[in-house]
Structure 1
Amino acid sequence: MGLNEHTVSDAPRDVVRRQYLASAAGDLDALRATLAPDVEWTEMAGFPLAGTYRTPEGVTSNVMERLGQEWEGWTAHDDTYVVDGENVVVLARYTATHCTTGKPLAVRVAHHFVVRGGLIVRFEQFTDTALVRDAAE
């Protein structure tokens, strides 16, 4: 039996997990399907893509597509989930190799998601931006 709207969980942890799986697979349509129309997605100050992006298309075009252009094999490895109601904090790792410098990246990261009605409405990233910058320079 295939997945349909009756078998897909809207639980905050499951929604966030689908986002990571879609990202790892490069499936931007599936990733956009996890995001609310008015999503606010914030990449940390100091990160190469720093800023707040809105709309599912705005997030994927300004974050995921650019990461894919600038980094080989960019992956967010979702290691640990901490869930409190609509808040989901994921302790994770980024791994990649910068396309221009050839330098590898392996850095810890924390992501804070807010999930309402089965969709991600807010995201905030926390990471050591200096390590990311060093790999890109």
Structure 2
Amino acid sequence: MTAVTDRTNMTHPASPADVVRRQYLASAAGDLEALRATLAPDVEWTEMAGFPLAGTYRTPAGVTTHVMERLAAEWDDWVVHDDTYVAEGENVVVLARYTAVNKATGKEMRVRVAHHFTVRGGLIVRFEQFVDTAKVLEAMRP
């Protein structure tokens, strides 16, 4: 994984990659308040068509309620392994993996994903997910 330094306590503003990394850390810790703090008030968060949570969610509360809380309710040990960051300007692409166990079926899921973030003014304004939805759905089928 590419190291991303957290600069929140420095006089320099956080880079877009720093903001994205804070979002992943907050998510991994289950700290929805800290996660919401990385999102712009008018954030557009898009889960890919075919993914169980497909759609575009707006507002930090909308994202955490309709995505993060539902993932926690439906999956055990949901982890996003943020392996590689590619940043250019306000755009950050993260090559990652999801691992989890579906609560209803007990089946394990491991799938590669790519996330595209747009960060402006130190906040995530847009997110788009790219994932092999068939592998996710396979873990959900009895």
Question: Which category of TM-score, normalised to the shorter sequence, fits these structures?
Answer: over 0.9
Distance 1:31 1:136 in 2: 26
Residue of 88, 95, 98 corresponding to 2:92: 88
- Please state if 1:21 is matched with 2:25: yes
Structure 2 segments unaligned to the other structure (5+ residues): 1-5
Identity of aligned residues (%): 73
Alignment coverage as a number of residue pairs: 135
Give the residue type in structure 1 aligned to 2:85.
Y
Query: 1:107 maps to what in 2?
Result: 111
Following the alignment from structure 1 to structure 2, what is the Cα–Cα distance between the partners of residues 109 and 5? 27
Cα separation, 2, equivalents of 1:131 and 1:42: 19
Normalized against structure 2, the TM-score is what? 0.92
CA distance in structure 2 between the partners assigned to 1:46 and 1:59 by the alignment: 18
- Cα distance, 1:18 vs structure 2: 0.2
Name the CA distance, whole Å, in 2 between partners of 1:136 and 1:5. 38
1:59 matched to which residue of 2?
63
> How far, CA to CA, are the matches of 1:7 and 1:119 in structure 2?
17
Aligned mates of 1:28, 1:82 — CA distance in 2: 25
- Do structure 1's residue 71 and structure 2's residue 75 form an aligned pair? yes
CA–CA separation in structure 2 for the residues paired with 1:40 and 1:51 = 10
Please give the alpha-carbon distance, in whole angstroms, between the structure 1 residues aligned to 2:8 and 2:16. Answer: 15
SS in 2 for 1:64: helix
1:6 Cα shift?
4.8
Q: Runs of 5+ in structure 1 lacking a partner?
A: none
